[in-house]
Structure 1
Amino acid sequence: MPDLDAQTRLELEAAAFRRLQKHLMEDRTDVQNIDLMNMAGFCRNCLSRWYQEAANARGIDMDKAKGREAFYGMPYAQWVAEHQTDASPTQQAAFNDSHKDDSET
C-alpha cells in the first residue's frame, strides 16, 4: 500500500464508498438485495446499517429509517416499490442455506 497520510486515506476510502453506493443505487438497480446477500454476505441494507452505526458512534442520532434514506437516497419504501422484486424460491433457499448458521448463534 502506498504511504498515505491519514486525510488522503480517508478521502480515498470515502470516494470508494461513494462509487460503490452509486454503482448499487444507480448502475445496478437490477441486482436484488437477496442476490447480494447470497453472493457477498452483505447488501444495501447492511451498508445503510453500517452508515447508521457510524453516525451513532459519532453521537449523531440516526435511526434505521434515516440510515436507509441516507444510503438509498430516498425513503426505503420508495426504493422497494421502484426496484425490488419478490425473492424466488431458489433465491430464498440459497439465502436460507447460506445463513443457516446465523440462527444458531
Structure 2
Amino acid sequence: MNPESDSLDTLDDAVAAQAFRRLIRHLRHREDAQNVDLMGLAGFCRNCLSDWVEEAGGLSKDAARETVYGMPYAEWKAHHQGDATPEQLERMKASVAKNAPKNEAV
C-alpha cells in the first residue's frame, strides 16, 4: 500500500476517535481476551494501545494505561490477567516477529 494515498489519512478525526473509543470499550468488556492472546494473534494488545496513547497524547505511562484499562493497570492485572502458558508465549513471539517497523509509525 502506498502511504501517500492511504484513505486512513483522510478519515475525519472525530470518526477515528469514536472508533478508537469503541475499540477500547470493547476490550474493556472482553476482559477474558488476554493480552498475550491478542499479541499472539494480532501483534498488539492493550499495553500497546496505551503506549500509543502515551506517545500521541503526552500522558504518563500510568495515566495512559488507566485510560485504556478503565482502572489502574495493577488492579486490572490482579483481577483479570492469568499466567501465560508456554504455548501462548511462543505464539506471541512469532506474531510480534511479523510486526514490521513500517507498521509502527504514522
- TM-score for the superposition, normalised by structure 1: 0.77
- Structure with the greater alpha carbon radius of gyration: 1
**Higher RCO (CA 8 Å, separation ≥ 6 residues):** 2
Could you tell me which runs of 5 or more consecutive residues in structure 1 were left unpaired when the two chains were aligned: 1-5, 57-61
1:25 and 2:28 aligned: yes
Counterpart CA distance in 2 for 1:47 and 1:99 is 15
Measure how far apart 1:73 and its partner are: 1.3
1:88 and 2:85 aligned: yes
Contact 2:32 2:80 in 1 (8 A): yes
Detail structure 1 runs of 4+ shifted over 4 Å in the superposition. none
Count of equivalent residues: 90
Closer, same or farther in 2 for the Cα pair 1:79/1:10, shift >3 Å?
same
Could you tell me which runs of 5 or more consecutive residues in structure 2 were left unpaired when the two chains were aligned: 1-9, 100-106
Counterpart CA distance in 2 for 1:9 and 1:99 is 30
Closer, same or farther in 2 for the Cα pair 1:92/1:17, shift >3 Å?
same
State the secondary structure of the residue aligned to 2:12.
Answer: helix
Determine what percentage of the aligned residue pairs are the same residue.
Answer: 50
Give 1:63's aligned residue. 60
Closer, same or farther in 2 for the Cα pair 1:99/1:15, shift >3 Å?
closer
- TM-score for the superposition, normalised by structure 2: 0.76
Counterpart CA distance in 2 for 1:16 and 1:101 is 25
Give 1:97's aligned residue. 94
